[in-house]
Amino acid sequence: MTRTRLLLASLLFVTGATKAADWPTFGHDPQRTGWAYEESMVSRENVSTLELKWKTKVKNEFRMLSALTVPVVAVGVTTLKGVRNVVYVAGSGDHVFAVDAETGEVLWTRSFKSYVVPKNSGYQGTFLCPNGITATPAIDRSTGILYVIAADGALYGLDLGSGKIRFGPVQFVAPFAKSWSLNLIDGVIYTTLTQGCGGGLSGFYSMDVKNPHHPVLHHLLLSTTDTAGIWGRGGPVAGKNGRIYGSTADGNFDPFSGEFSNAVIAASLLNLNFVDYYTPENWRDLNHRDLDLGSASPVWFSWKNYNLLASGAKEGVVYLLDADALGDKDHQTTLFTSARLGNDQRTFEQHGIWGGLSICRDDEGQTWLFVPMWGPVSESAPKFPVTNGPNPHGSIMAFKVASGGNSNRPVLEPVWVSSDFNLPDPVVIANGVVFALSTGENAKQTGSTDATRMENTRPAVLYALDAQTGNVLYSSGDAIKSWVHFSGLAIAEGHVYAVDHDSQVYCFGLKGKP
């Protein structure tokens, strides 16, 4: 895969006002592709010269497994110290930090004050409901605002350069709910809720913020209980077809009573009207084994005459769905279903697909799909032409999206599988390079407590892989000092940004360049 920034119009990946080289939201764009298509500085030829440029520990208090959100980046921001590239992270302790991308200096901090307290019941105060910020913020370059949900459920809009409050606070979700990465399309902020934290019901939530004096809220609730949550890290996934998507967690599936667990859901972008759904035929077994579809966010992309949604989760199977007709007429028919790629044990922990899928297109017009798999490769998986060594704890799998036989319907052709990742986060792609984090977290749930989950961890490692072969082009070695839970990477202007559980922000850049 060589350097490319073409075919953007045919991909139709990006929506909204995005300045070149920004990383404004989880997964780079509203479709959660993970593809920094505008990146031109880092390449397969020079990525081996990456080095740690700086690390900055911010004053944040972790909440169980949660610490800092995935970084987002804005280029050319006017600050009190001049025009800067700025990295933004939100902290679980109810803070937001703006960090100078060149030096690692904290330019400003915004702390929120809650006037309510969480109830000490149910999951509250555990890793499932940590009573802190969990949603990755989103940048609006058209207004110069960073949007973030505080721990008390209020939506704030902060000035990119100063941290001054320019919008809100306006109550968006329940206090101490567990919300996921914000998405921003045409002046509307979207998020999803899960697990009943703070009493918030599972579903999609949106707020139209175009008029700050008249914000308009819409909700689409997917269950009357704490099930059916959309807890893939990408939160709401927006298509270019006027729809927004999410994969729901375990629970009962009964459309007639409004219960939509173990399903892929589509709603209208405009007002969150329920539009469509897909549920696998074996949803009862998935529910029984806690192999819900909620563990990973889908990704939206166009391919030939199709708008597609790729979805996968704990079961270790990937579905290609028609994004304009999820599950076809019976709501249970895919365009393509892979063999089991992982999780032969069919267990709900430490195996299967977690975090989210990623997509890109090379300069030959070939579409690639990347899958982060926890645990070993399944014995049922198709043969990968290229393997890169043992991977007992996890791996990155790469597929080409191709036409199946004499049909124009899409299929996934396996290309390569990486060496060991313990455990992999969703990948991001730039200029023929796949960046992935081996998180080092302890994901064992059975017999564990929140405290023991923070034991027996390993420092995270950043890897750069050749997107054509999976060969390791770079490893950060021992540069990252701690592990990370449910995070991700950002790329901008030849730099890669990561965080760890000790609330440190890391910047990796090319040797000899600032």
Mean per-residue pLDDT, 326-342? 97
Closest CA to 297 of 210, 230, 379, 239: 230
Residue 384 domain-assigned (yes or no): yes
Phi, psi of 371, rounded to the nearest 5 degrees: -125, 120
Mean per-residue pLDDT, 479-505? 97
pLDDT of residue 405: 79
**What is the token pair recorded at 238?**
């927006």
pLDDT of residue 20: 63
Q: What is the DSSP string of 372-385?
A: EEESSBPTTSPPPS
What gap in Å lies between CA 289 and CA 454, rounded to an integer? 25
Residue 383 domain-assigned (yes or no): yes
Residue 5 domain-assigned (yes or no): no
What gap in Å lies between CA 507 and CA 314, rounded to an integer? 31
Q: Is the dihedral of CA 93, 229, 436, 343 positive or negative?
A: positive
Strands 178-179 and 165-171: unpaired
Rounded to the nearest integer, the mean pLDDT of the chain is 94
Mean per-residue pLDDT, 287-301? 95
Residue 282 domain-assigned (yes or no): yes
CATH of the domain at 185: 2.140.10.10
Domain that holds residue 485: 23-510
204 bridge partner residues: 192, 220
303 neighbors 296 (Cβ within 8 angstroms): no
User: Could you tell me which residue, 122 or 377, shows the higher pLDDT?
Assistant: 377
Mean per-residue pLDDT, 228-233? 94
Number of neighbouring beta carbons within 10 Å of residue 115:
7
pLDDT of residue 226: 83
pLDDT of residue 14: 39
- Residue 311: which pLDDT band, with cuts at 50, 70 and 90? very high
Range with the poorest average pLDDT among 218-227, 386-395, 415-424: 218-227
pLDDT of residue 25: 98
Quote the pTM value.
0.95
Residue 11 domain-assigned (yes or no): no
- Residue 119: which pLDDT band, with cuts at 50, 70 and 90? confident
Residue with tokens 């109810």: 94
- Judge whether residue 503 has pLDDT over 60: yes
- Judge whether residue 58 has pLDDT over 90: yes
Residue 194 domain-assigned (yes or no): yes
Phi, psi of 19, rounded to the nearest 5 degrees: -75, 145
- Residue 12: which pLDDT band, with cuts at 50, 70 and 90? very low
What gap in Å lies between CA 287 and CA 296, rounded to an integer? 16
- Residue 5: which pLDDT band, with cuts at 50, 70 and 90? very low
Q: How many domains does the chain have?
A: 1
pLDDT of residue 225: 84
- Judge whether residue 63 has pLDDT over 80: yes
pLDDT of residue 410: 96
- pLDDT, tens only, 358-367: 999 998 999 9
- Residue 227: which pLDDT band, with cuts at 50, 70 and 90? confident
Q: Is residue 47 classed as helix, strand or coil in its secondary structure?
A: helix
